[in-house]
Amino acid sequence: MSSLGAARYVLLETFRRSGVGVATPVWVVASGSDLLVTTRAESGKVKRIRYSGRVTLVECDIRGVVADGAVPIEGTAVVDTSAATRAELDALMEEKYGERFREMRAAASARPVAPVSVALRISI
């Protein structure tokens, strides 16, 4: 498996129908031989992945600046809405990102209508 699961941030690039890539820095965790990312169910990433599961990933910083010497890796992503994956993802994110992840979850649930999150399961 790739070392991307250990990276603090990964630049996830998904692709529009036109083939144009859209890159977003995300948190990522390793789950067996796959990588997991969390995102809002209504996000553009979800729409693009449902159209084409093609993604590229590369280690980056919080602003999406690619790490020196980092090489993009091609992968395939699917939207995973299962409760088991959601529970696994939440546990792994809390373990890796700790207080920052708990703060993000608390802020989301404090909204009048909390956003629905889904998991993106990425195979490399």
76 forms beta bridges with 54, 123
The span from the CA of 61 to the CA of 35, in Å, is 18
What pLDDT score was predicted for residue 113? Answer: 66
CATH code for position 71: 2.30.110.10
pTM, 2 dp: 0.90
Which residue segment(s) compose the domain that 82 sits in? 3-123
pLDDT tens digits, 82-114: 999 999 999 999 999 999 888 888 787 777 765
Q: Which two tokens stand for residue 40?
A: 């809002």
Q: Please give the tally of structural domains in the chain.
A: 1
Pick out the chain residues at pLDDT < 50.
Answer: 1
Q: Are strands 117-123 and 34-40 parallel, antiparallel or unpaired?
A: antiparallel
The two tokens of residue 32 are: 């067996």
**pLDDT for the residue 2:** 65
